[in-house]
Amino acid sequence: MICLQVISNAGEARSQCMCALESARNGRFEEAESYFNESLERLQAAHHIHTGLITKEARGELQRIGLILVHSEDILMGAEITSALAREMVELYKR
């Protein structure tokens, strides 16, 4: 199911952000940046899939919107928030 791809990518993006925070907390800022780059790739993949779903829905091609789609959007939003906050926290660790 396509929604599970959104969940998987967004969940992995969130995990990568948490690894970036741990690296930064331990002074490994280059490693943190690497984790953020991986996270960004996963977020972009999730967004690409999500945009496809929205396009299908707008065209009337989705017969119904199920709980899994709503859940995938929730996971995606959580990953986006985690990413933004983690980046800010890394900047604080650098000080």
Q: What secondary structure letter does DSSP report for 64?
A: -
Which candidate in 47, 48, 50, 71 is catalytic?
71
Nearest-angstrom CA–CA distance, 7 and 5: 5
Catalytic status, residue 48: no
34 token code pair:
């690497």
Annotated binding residue 62:
no
Helical H segments across 1-95, by residue range: 2-25, 29-58, 67-94
Residues belonging to the active site: 71
User: Binding site for Mg(2+): residue ranges?
Assistant: 74
Binding positions are 74
